[in-house]
A = this chain, B = another copy of it.
Amino acid sequence: MTAYDIPRLKTALAGLKIEENPAIVKQKSRDFFWYSPVLKRQLDHITADLVVSPKSETEVIRVLAECYALGIPVTPRGSGTGNYGQAMPLSGGVVLNLAEMNKVKAISRGSVVAEAGAVLAEIDRQTRAAVQQELRLHPSTYNTASIAGFVAGGSGGVGSINWGGLRNIGNVISMRVVTMEAAPRVMEMKGRDLMKVMHAYGTNGIITEVEMPLDAAYDWIDVIVGFDDYMKAVRFANELANQDGLLFKEIATVASPVPYDYFLRHQKFLRREQSVVLLMVAPQAMAPFLSLAELRRADICYRSDTATEAEKKGLPPVFELTWNHTTLRGLRVDPTITYLQVLYPFPDHIARIERMTKLLGDEVPGHLEFQRFDGNICASGLPIVRFTSEARLDEIIRLHEDNGCPIFNPHRYTLEEGGMKKTDAIQLAFKHEADPKGLLNPGKMIAWENPDFDLNSDKVYLFPGLQAAE
């Protein structure tokens, strides 16, 4: 299947936890790439040769040194909750499963240090108990995602309404990163240095430990507000997001009929005509929030603080209706849908949202996540797309771009095509330093694989090292 000397690697790694069962290896070589019909076609067959699960940084170093010596690719993996194949080993080799390095190592007021594989919700359980604080940001996969996976492959999420994204300085304090060399080095990074490896999919170093800032923990109240007109929901959400004195952890909107059709457990609280605003409200903000909601004639469909135990039974938390969980719930009902990632830039975000809503109607039902962006409130979108063909999907992308709404394409597996469509010189330079043989997560950084590739052409990058489908 590959030319790698796997038997020799296994001998060299004797004593480490190694998994070779092809079914399990394939399962650990996947993430949620299948949200995208494009990535599903391209990556469905991808699998590693084996999975190694180190229990310490020392074991990580040992794996990297041996793989370096044998020229075997290493693709790091946390919980595999990414959506773009971030942790998929395009050229096979080793999946470095960091899930068993999951200790919370230190908690103080304002910050926590955890090993790479620590699950976000478990970190928060411990920080809440210790200092009544919690992580600022988490994806909707809070209950399964790992901290290093979030930093290496995520961008923001619940909490971004207050703190912006992971890219903003201050949202990660420090990290330990191991290089892929003959004698791997451990680098301690903080400040601007963090940009070298953040959101780099593990292409230029293996994160073994992360220090994150904490914020006050509250018993957030889940609220769903209904409107019969989607733009009314959007305007209300925008007004809430701009209320400096009201504390929310999450503000999202979802256009009808998506909430009724796809949020099956919450269906009993909704009418099919209703678009919704999804909120996590701090308890101390409920009275002023309700006062404003009443003034705006908003329909409170659901609130967890007054719901009965019978009503709450089996309900997921509201954050599991937001971010990529909106798409996931849609896919469970209708596997033919997919989604996009859109930025509606400040200060014209409301006008642009309205334009795209009118233009695309029910082919692209709206889903917005309000967030802070360089000091201002704007919205990013993860609209549902009723998928018909890759050509039409490309056309929908072009329609957004033509209307001033940049797309972060979730149907591409490379950093550049899914991101800013330009070379990240800092990440590239660090890859030259930390992964001279280019063995870490191959195929994800175009700037490394093919520096001459024109990111502004209409061509899709095809990684030559991609495993052939059988």
Report which A residues bind B (CB closer than 8 A): 109-111, 131-133, 163-165, 168-171, 173-174, 190-193, 213-216, 218-219, 241-247, 282-285, 287-292, 295, 347, 372-377
Q: Assuming A288-B191, A376-B375, is B169 touching A246 (CB within 8 A)?
A: yes
Q: What secondary structure prevails in chain A residues at the interface with B?
A: mixed
A213 vs B292: C-alpha distance when bound (angstroms) = 17
Contact B245 A292 (CB under 8 A): no
Q: Assuming A218-B110, A243-B168, A245-B169, is B191 touching A291 (CB within 8 A)?
A: yes
- Across the interface, A247 reaches (CB within 8 A) one of B165, B170, B190, B193, namely B170
- Across the interface, A170 reaches (CB within 8 A) one of B241, B246, B376, B377, namely B246
A215 vs B192: C-alpha distance when bound (angstroms) = 28
Q: Assuming A243-B168, A244-B163, is B284 touching A173 (CB within 8 A)?
A: yes
- Across the interface, A284 reaches (CB within 8 A) one of B111, B164, B288, B375, namely B111
Contact B376 A190 (CB under 8 A): no
Chain B residues, CB < 8 A from A191: 287-288, 290-292
**Beyond the given A242-B376, A376-B377, could you list 9 further A-B residue pairs with CB under 8 A, ordered by the A residue number?**
A131-B132, A165-B244, A169-B291, A170-B288, A173-B284, A213-B245, A213-B247, A214-B284, A242-B374
Nearest-neighbour CB distance to chain B for A234, whole angstroms, equals 15
- Across the interface, A244 reaches (CB within 8 A) one of B246, B283, B347, B372, namely B372
A328 vs B290: C-alpha distance when bound (angstroms) = 41
Identical copies in the complex: 2
Q: Assuming A216-B216, A376-B375, is B243 touching A288 (CB within 8 A)?
A: no
**Shortest Cβ distance from A291 into B: residue:** B191
Nearest-neighbour CB distance to chain B for A379, whole angstroms, equals 12
Contact A245 B374 (CB under 8 A): no
A289 vs B347: C-alpha distance when bound (angstroms) = 27
Contact B192 A282 (CB under 8 A): no
Q: Assuming A164-B245, A214-B284, A288-B170, is B295 touching A192 (CB within 8 A)?
A: yes
Chain B residues, CB < 8 A from A174: 287
Chain B residues, CB < 8 A from A244: 163-165, 168, 170-171, 372-375
- Across the interface, A190 reaches (CB within 8 A) one of B246, B288, B374, B375, namely B288
Nearest-neighbour CB distance to chain B for A133, whole angstroms, equals 7
Nearest-neighbour CB distance to chain B for A199, whole angstroms, equals 14
Contact A243 B375 (CB under 8 A): yes
Chain B residues, CB < 8 A from A285: 170, 213
Chain B residues, CB < 8 A from A295: 192
A94 vs B283: C-alpha distance when bound (angstroms) = 39
**Shortest Cβ distance from A241 into B: residue:** B375
Chain B residues, CB < 8 A from A133: 216
Chain B residues, CB < 8 A from A132: 109, 131-132
5 examples of A-B residue contacts, CB within 8 angstroms? A110-B284, A131-B132, A169-B243, A170-B285, A216-B216
**Shortest Cβ distance from A161 into B: residue:** B244
